[in-house]
């Protein structure tokens, strides 16, 4: 087991050798992830296992633990998204190999160039982030939302108010 995550790695050669990598990655180094985050502070704990299945499929399996700060789309305040991700990627060189992967693998296209480990981690975290991040408990948003009153131009009259007036005339 290697207790260090390199910046770049030849995934095919490492899978052939069968290695386990473990370490931390600074959130600030995950460039593809930064545009959706409120803060680039913190670290993620990452463990990766590269190996080869008995059927010859080279794989990258692992886990990512930690938390990222996002903007809640309900109250526009910061929110913490805890991450406990597990992934299992089949290392492929093209579309035909990706289609031939067993169902329990997601394809990861590998080229002759060493892969940027930060890019692989950022992709997995991006896939875990909800399309519309919101606090899981509406009470977390209530402090912000309770003071909001729409401007008069946005306030609508009750469509049944006219019926109430008719009822009183009878």
61-112: per-residue pLDDT in tens?
999 999 999 998 888 888 899 999 999 999 998 888 889 898 899 999 998 8
* pLDDT at site 85: 95
pLDDT value at 139 more than 90: no
Note the pLDDT of residue 5.
87
**Domain span at 131:** 8-169
Residue-level pLDDT at 4: 76
For residue 93, give both structure tokens.
């060189």
- Residue among 42, 123, 52, 53 at smallest CA distance from 87: 123
- Tracing tokens 């030849």 back to the chain, one arrives at 10
Our CA angle for 28, 112, 127, nearest 5°, is 40
Q: Is residue 85 domain-resident?
A: yes
Residue 53 located in a structural domain? yes
Instruction: With beta carbons less than 8 A apart as the criterion, state whether 105 and 70 touch.
Output: no
Domain assignment present for residue 27? The answer is: yes
Residue 6: both structure tokens together: 């390199």
**Is there a domain that residue 1 lies in?**
no
22, part of any domain = yes
Is residue 121 over pLDDT 60?
yes
User: Cα-Cα-Cα-Cα dihedral of 103, 92, 43, 135, to 10°?
Assistant: -40
Give tens-digit pLDDT for 24-65: 999 999 999 999 999 999 999 999 999 999 988 999 999 999
Q: Which residues contact 65 (CB under 8 A, 6 or more apart)?
A: 44, 45, 46, 83, 84, 85
Residue with more model confidence, 27 or 144: 27
Number of separate domains in the chain: 1
Q: Is residue 133 part of a domain?
A: yes
71 inside domain: yes
Q: What is the average per-residue pLDDT within 113-128?
A: 93
* Structure confidence by residue, pLDDT tens digits, 3-12: 678 899 999 9
User: Partners of 35 in the beta sheet?
Assistant: none
26/135 Cα distance (integer angstroms): 24
**In the predicted model, is pLDDT for residue 123 greater than 70?**
yes
The answer to whether residue 55 is domain-embedded is yes
């Amino acid at each position: 087991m290697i207790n260090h995550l390199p910046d770049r790695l030849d995934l095919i050669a490492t899978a052939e050798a069968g290695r386990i990598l473990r370490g931390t990655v600074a959130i600030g180094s995950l460039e593809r992830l930064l545009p959706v985050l409120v803060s680039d502070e913190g670290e993620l704990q990452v463990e990766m296992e590269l190996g080869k299945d008995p059927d010859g499929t080279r794989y990258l399996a692992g886990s990512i633990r930690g938390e990222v700060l996002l903007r809640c789309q309900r109250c526009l305040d910061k929110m913490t998204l805890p991450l406990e991700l597990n992934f299992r990627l089949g290392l492929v060189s093209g579309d035909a190999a990706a289609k031939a992967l067993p169902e329990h693998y997601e394809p990861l296209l590998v080229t002759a160039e060493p892969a940027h480990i930060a890019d692989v981690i950022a992709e997995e975290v991006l896939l875990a982030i909800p399309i519309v991040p919101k606090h899981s408990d509406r009470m977390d948003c209530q402090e912000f939302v309770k003071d909001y009153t729409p401007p008069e131009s946005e306030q609508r009259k009750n469509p049944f108010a006219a019926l109430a007036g008719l009822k009183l005339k009878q």
